[in-house]
Amino acid sequence: MVKIFGIAFKNEVFTASGVFGFGLKYQRISNAVGAVITKGITLKPREGNPPPRIYETPGGLINWVGLENPGVDAFCAHIIPGLAKLKTRVIANVAGFSVNEYIEIVERIGNRVDAFELNVSCPNVKEGGAAFGQDPDIVGRIVAGVRKKTKCPVIVKLTPNFCDPLRVARMCVDKGADGISLINTLYGMAYDTSSGKPLIIGGLSGPAIKPFALYCVNRIRDIGVPIIGMGGIMTGQDAYEFLLAGASAVAVGSAMLRDPEAPIAIIKELESFLRRGKKAGDGRKGLNKA
C-alpha cells in the first residue's frame, strides 16, 4: 500500500490514460493496479481522427487517436456508476480546448472520482493553437480555476514538447496542484515514401521515449508534490528506474497495447526491485510510503 496525494493506493503501478479505455472491460486488471487513469474526457463527445491512428516505429508507436470519448455528460451518467464498482482508485483524465473547458469538465464531475489528471498537451484553439502546457501562465490559469471546483487532488500531466517541465511544474504547484504526472507523448511523424506525403503526425510513446521521460522526472524531482512517472515503461525494472528518478508512482501506457496484462507483471517485478532496493538503501525519496 502507498499513500500519495493523501489517498491510499494498493500499489504504485497505474494504467496510463488512453490505452485502457475506462478500465471497465478488463476488471481483473483494473482491480490489480493502484489506479486506473481514464481516457481523456472532453466537454463534448468526440469521434476521434480517421485512420491511420496508430503507426509502429522501431522503438515505439505514433498515435493520432484524437481524444475519442463520449463527452463529460455521458461520462457522468453512464461511466462513473461502473467506475464506482471497481476495486481500485480512479483518476479522471481531462482534456480541454480552452481554459474554461477544463474548469467546466472538472465542475461537472465534481468529487465523484478519486483525483483528476489535467492533460495540458491539447492545443489552445482560442489562443494560437500551441499546447496549453508549453505556457506556464496558461497552465497556471487552468490549475487555479480547476482548484476551486473540486476537493479531489488535482494532478497536472505535463507535455514534454518544447518547454522546460520544471518551469511549468513550479507554476502548477504555486497555483495549488497536488501532483505532477509526466511525460505525455513526444511529437512524432512518419512518411509514406510511395506518395511522398506524411503518413501520420502524432504522439510518440513507448521504449524510445523512456530515457527522455526519466530525465524529465529527475528534472522536477524536488518539486515538493508527488510525481507520477511514465514513458516507455515495459518492465518492473523500468518502473523502478522512475521511482529512483523521483516518482512516487508510475503509469504503464504503450506496453498495454502489446500485452494488456503488462501492469500485473510489472507490479510483481517492481515488488522484488523494491525489496532489494530497500535492503541496499536506494536513493528514493519515500514521499509515498504509507
Task: Choose among 181, 179, 246, 235: nearest CA to 206.
Answer: 235
> What angle, 0 to 180 degrees and rounded to 10, lies between the N-to-C axes of helices 165-174 and 136-147?
30
**Residue listed under C-alpha cell 493496479:** 33
Give strand pairing partners of 156. Answer: 118, 180
Q: Which of 39, 89, 141, 149 binds ligand FMN (CB under 6 A)?
A: 39
β-pair type (197-205, 60-63) = antiparallel
Q: Which of 40, 188, 226, 229 binds ligand FMN (CB under 6 A)?
A: 40
Shortest Å, Cβ 201 to ligand FMN = 14
Residue 101 near residue 46, CB atoms below 8 Å: no
**Which residue has the CB atom at the shortest distance from ligand FMN?**
18
Q: Which of 19, 29, 168, 171 binds ligand FMN (CB under 6 A)?
A: 19
Q: Does 93 bind ligand FMN (CB under 6 A)?
A: yes
Q: Does 217 bind ligand FMN (CB under 6 A)?
A: no
Shortest Å, Cβ 257 to ligand FMN = 7
Shortest Å, Cβ 143 to ligand FMN = 15
Q: Which helix (H) or strand (E) holds 2?
A: strand 2-4
Q: Does 206 bind ligand FMN (CB under 6 A)?
A: yes
**Residue listed under C-alpha cell 501506457:** 253
Task: Choose among 46, 44, 92: nearest CA to 69.
Answer: 46
Shortest Å, Cβ 281 to ligand FMN = 29
Q: Does 246 bind ligand FMN (CB under 6 A)?
A: no
Q: Taking CB under 6 A as the criterion, which residues in 160-189 touch ligand FMN?
A: 184-185
- CA–CA separation, 81 and 261 (whole Å): 24
Q: Which residues bind ligand FMN (CB under 6 A)?
A: 16-19, 39-40, 63, 65, 67, 93, 119, 157, 184-185, 205-206, 209, 230-233, 252-255
